[in-house]
Structure 1
Amino acid sequence: MRNTVKVIAIKENNAVEVVPLITDACIGCRNSECTKQGHPFVVHNTQKLPVYPGAIVKISASAVRQALQALLSLCLPLAAAIAGYILTPKICASIDGAKAATEATRIAGVFISFFATSILVLIFNRFIKTERHATITEIITYGT
């Protein structure tokens, strides 16, 4: 995560428009388009620090939001895969009656449930916009 940004505009309701700065963290990052093109994004100034256009500031994301994102992105598909393995024989028995589920059917249940849940998480993260802004934590330098 890029944590050093330059303030470009002050908005309403403690919102600040910033642009990312290239730092050492960017060297190993494969997503270099954001810093090359300098896509602005909005952060919140909840501490009401005296920022103004040109100031270099540090930002951080909420640890609770990061933990929730990890839980939804990683643990939910994994739990769905385990549930798919356990529930596949019951689903097969209710559909086909007497036929028992084979190991290949269980593996198919694992893949289907894992990928279906992963796609649902992706759709939720991409298309359902929630208020998830980083916050300004400190002012590094004052710009001109």
Structure 2
Amino acid sequence: MSITGLWVARAFGIVWAVPNTAVGVLAGVVGMAFGARAEWSRRDFALVFHRWPWGPGGAITFGNSILHTGDTLEAECVTYEHRAGRTRHPRIRLGDHERAHVYQYMVLGPLFLPLYLLCGGVSVRNPFERAADRYALTGEGWWPWDGRAGQ
């Protein structure tokens, strides 16, 4: 794909994900009243709200927005399979995992959340989460059904 085609595809993906992004931005703005701070992450292709004050810790992505309870997406974390005791993986960069979800949203737009929930939600069984972990580990394979779901 040409550089121009890539930018057109990205622009379409951003627009397609706007309903989800709006949910994240609204939640992020509410969080700003309680200490969250917003930052555009060019690397992660998202508006990131750091120090988001609610949730169990970590991050959640809505379209091109990320709600993050910590100070930086450079933080390391373990994969879902590692946490579940299925395998031992090296630690991954949280931002890389969340960037995979940004890409998934840009392809699926408003269909992402229903599909994500139908696939098991926040769970090691969810192919969206396994793909995001794979992408964070290898830099490839962010699409949940690319033939490497079990890898």
What's the TM-score, normalizing by structure 1? 0.23
Higher relative contact order (CA 8 A, sep 6+): 1
Say which one has the larger Rg: 1
What's the TM-score, normalizing by structure 2? 0.22
Greater fraction strand: 1
